[in-house]
Amino acid sequence: MMRTVLLFLFTFTCCISSYSQEYKCEDGKVKFISKAPLNSFDGNSAYLHGLIDLDKNLIDFYIDLNTLKTGIALRDSHMREDYLETEEYPYAEFTGEIKNLNRVSASELKEGLTVTAIGEFKIHGISKKRSITGELKLNANGNLILNTEFPVLLKDHNIEKPSLLGYQIADKQTVKINATLIRQ
Amino acid sequence: MQHLFGNNYSTILTVLLLFLVSISHAQLKRERVVQDQEVELTFDAPRLINLYTTEPLNKNDLHWSIMHTFGELNNGIQNLWGIDNGANIRLSFEYAPSNKFSITAARSSLDKVYDLGIRNHYLIQKKDNSMPVSVSSMFSVAVNTNNYKFLDNEAPAFNERLSFVGQLMISRKFTKKLSMQLSPMYAYFVDNRAIYLTKSKDQHHPALAYSIKYTAFGKYSFTAQSIIDLDSPENSNVGFGIDIETGGHVFQLYVVSAANLNDSYLLADEVDRPFQSLRFGFNVNRIFTLGKSKK
């Protein structure tokens, strides 16, 4: 019995250390674009934290929403306090897996490959199952570059829109992500 | 051998469990980038009813405000509860060269008072409570520019028209909805003449003011304010109203006991029966972002 346990443990340790294909970043770029007839603006952050593990087929990204800046400090304050409510819901996050990862080869990754991630996207405390398409590319240094763009509907996540005069915000926000994940 | 394993059985299991835990928790640990986030939007605007708040402007912001008070409500329906008496108006511009400091220039219609002031921010409340309050100060000089041509005797000299006011503002956002501010204030009139439109003719006006904002629903907040004369505590100014935050403008509708709108005159306008001289008033606040918006 004990021998089985030890053997199991040993095998597990070997698996983890030798086959890990983990890529991580803490400085990915996120941009959201808000387009409205009279008032278009964008918000940016360079604090996207991400993990792509090709072995376990795990994708995990999050951003501290307090780091988003739209260029107008008062608008940022209202965004944090009244709309995203970052004190209660500080993060936007996505956790999921890459569809058909077992069919992806290393050489394909080097050339840049369009992949689809399926998982849960959560912001403002509300999760939605999403399928998000983006490009993954393995660069010369062995790091993984991710580029993606996807829409987020405010009403999906129960994010209020300013209702009186003032800012104009469309329900559909476009989110763009550009991150270089470093091989661990 | 059997004995040895027996002893370590639990240890091995623990190690194994730890491994399993570390595998199942392969997701990234969520950590905030900004740990000691500053408390924001303690008040809707740099003004609440009559008084300045600790709410700072950001660098290169211009705060434009126009404040009004009307005649006393007890004028009755014949004068539309004071509206027919016309408005006293204060127009002000406040510009912030930095996040910690702003300059105000304003003109009030009663006694045609021009005032020039500064507002400083020393401490800002933190969400993790490492700083429990926000602390700011303001100071301004006001000059009465009424020409007094209607007087038989000589009009007051320039220095006799001056008044000064300073205040310390200490505020705390207690909950998402409730904010309060305590403000020790002091005003000094070089020569508070009978002809000036102040109710109390004292030269010195120490006062203690408090302001409360309670967000009732959405963008609507109830506000209340009282300015107590420390020389004669039965005298005070009171005000209560609602703030409407529209995203671009902040509208503040209220009833107050003082007709005056600039700070030094306000302290000389305290009365012993404030609830008998209530009048309607409103402020419109707008903050413009000047210069290039920074990314």
- Look up residue A104 and give its two tokens: 């992806």
Q: Which of A64, A68, A70, A75 would best serve as a mutation to test chain B binding (most B beta carbons within 10 A)?
A: A64
Measured between CB atoms, which of A66, A73, A164 is closest to B37?
A66
> β-strands B51-52, A22-34: how paired?
unpaired
Q: Which of B28, B29, B129 would best serve as a mutation to test chain A binding (most A beta carbons within 10 A)?
A: B28
- Distance from B246 to chain A by nearest Cα, in Å? 5
Q: Given this model, what pLDDT does residue A165 score? A: 55
Cβ burial, residue B160 (10 Å; 0-12/13-18/19+): middle
Which chain A residues are Cβ-neighbours of B28 within 8 angstroms?
24, 49-51, 60-62
Mean pLDDT to the nearest integer, B168-196: 95
Lowest-confidence pick of A76-90, B11-25, B33-47, B212-226: B11-25
Which chain B residues are Cβ-neighbours of A47 within 8 angstroms?
33
- Look up residue B13 and give its two tokens: 């299991």
- Of all residues in chain A, the one with the smallest CA distance to B33 is A64
- pLDDT over 70 (residue B272): yes
Looking at per-residue confidence, does B152 or B31 come out higher? B31
- Distance from B27 to chain A by nearest Cα, in Å? 6
Per-residue pLDDT tens digits for B121-163: 999 999 999 999 999 999 999 999 999 888 888 889 999 999 9
What's the CA gap between B178 and B42, in Å, rounded? 8
What is the mean pLDDT for each group of 10 consecutive residues in chain A (184 residues)? 66 53 94 87 95 92 95 90 92 94 83 93 96 94 94 94 70 95 93
Which chain A residues are Cβ-neighbours of B287 within 8 angstroms?
74
Please judge whether B289 and A74 are an interchain contact, meaning their C-beta atoms are less than 8 angstroms apart. Answer: yes
Please judge whether A93 and B30 are an interchain contact, meaning their C-beta atoms are less than 8 angstroms apart. Answer: yes
ipTM passes above 0.85: no
- Look up residue A38 and give its two tokens: 């009279």
Residue in A82, A158, A39 with CA at minimum distance from that of residue B44: A82
In order of A29, A39, A42, B138, the CA distances from A68 in angstroms are 10, 18, 10, 31
DSSP SS3 for B131: coil
Q: Which of B13, B30, B35 would best serve as a mutation to test chain A binding (most A beta carbons within 10 A)?
A: B30
Task: Assess contact for A89 and A123: CB atoms under 8 A.
Answer: yes
pTM listed for this prediction: 0.83
Q: Given this model, what pLDDT does residue A100 score? A: 85
